[in-house]
Amino acid sequence: MLKTFWSILLRDLTLALRRRTDVLTVLFFFIIVVSLFPLGVGSEKALLRELGPGVVWVAALLASMLALERLFAADFDDGTLEQMLLTPQPLGLLVLAKVLAHWLLTGLPLVIIAPLIALQYQLEDGQTLMMMASLLLGTPTLGLIGAIGAALTLGLRGGGILLSLLILPLYIPILIYGEGAVTVSAIALADSEPYLMLLGALLLLSLILGPWAAAAALRISID
């Protein structure tokens, strides 16, 4: 079982690294969206500090959604997904491997470049750290919830727009707590702890329910 998990994970990573532009576009989308805000609302230091956490989190939500469209699409088009459904392996595990690969390629880079964004928004060191921590806990949850939507909209016309309609309302708790963690850390770093705990709780909840629901959605979409 674990072997299947690893092979799917490695396969997806290898495939993505053969086509690096797909991964990089999402990253640059995130950077560009975040860089546009200071141009749009003005570059006052105090204003940027206040806006920063929210802007980064909304951009992360959008970037993650942009990437989700491709989560199952390529495998669906060439028939691989159908073969995966026919294997005796638990489908939830396959979904989990795919989501993990997806997160390593699109979520983790966001965490890594967060300090660069924090520089743009004049955030303190503590806030930068908290932004990385909250993104580290929050972005996998985005992928797990988003996988359900990606599976439901598989192969539909205008699936991308539809996906955003279905998934963005469900992302709201992560946005609130992720943004909250960074904002509160400006006053005292320890005050962010409850927010991180709630983000962790959401991650655990979606780890348990997400792959299972996404597997059910895949079965509905394919049969």
* Residues at the contact surface with other proteins, assessed by CB under 8 A: 145, 148-149, 152-153, 156-158, 162, 165-166, 168-170, 172-173, 176-177, 180, 184, 191, 194-195, 197-198, 202, 205, 209, 213, 216-217, 220-221
**42 vs 194 by CB, closer to other proteins:** 194
Amino acid at 151: A
Minimal distance, residue 6 CB to other proteins, in Å: 28
User: If we measure between CA atoms, which residue out of 46, 85, 217 comes closest to residue 145?
Assistant: 217
Kindly state the DSSP code that residue 192 receives in the 8-state scheme: G
Minimal distance, residue 83 CB to other proteins, in Å: 20
Q: Which residues of 162-176 are buried (b: 16+ CB within 10 A; e: fewer)?
A: ebbebbbeebeebbe
User: If we measure between CA atoms, which residue out of 134, 133, 147, 127 comes closest to residue 64?
Assistant: 147
Angle at 92 between CA 91 and CA 94, to 5 degrees: 65
**23 vs 170 by CB, closer to other proteins:** 170
Minimal distance, residue 156 CB to other proteins, in Å: 5
**23 vs 176 by CB, closer to other proteins:** 176
Minimal distance, residue 23 CB to other proteins, in Å: 27
**9 vs 94 by CB, closer to other proteins:** 94
**38 vs 178 by CB, closer to other proteins:** 178
**31 vs 176 by CB, closer to other proteins:** 176
| CA 110 to each of CA 27, 52, 184, 198: distance values in angstroms, whole numbers, following the listed order | 7, 15, 21, 20
**Helical residues (DSSP H) of 69-192, grouped into ranges:** 73-77, 80-86, 91-106, 108-120, 125-152, 159-167, 172-184
Minimal distance, residue 152 CB to other proteins, in Å: 5
Cα(3)–Cα(208) distance, integer angstroms:
20
Minimal distance, residue 166 CB to other proteins, in Å: 5
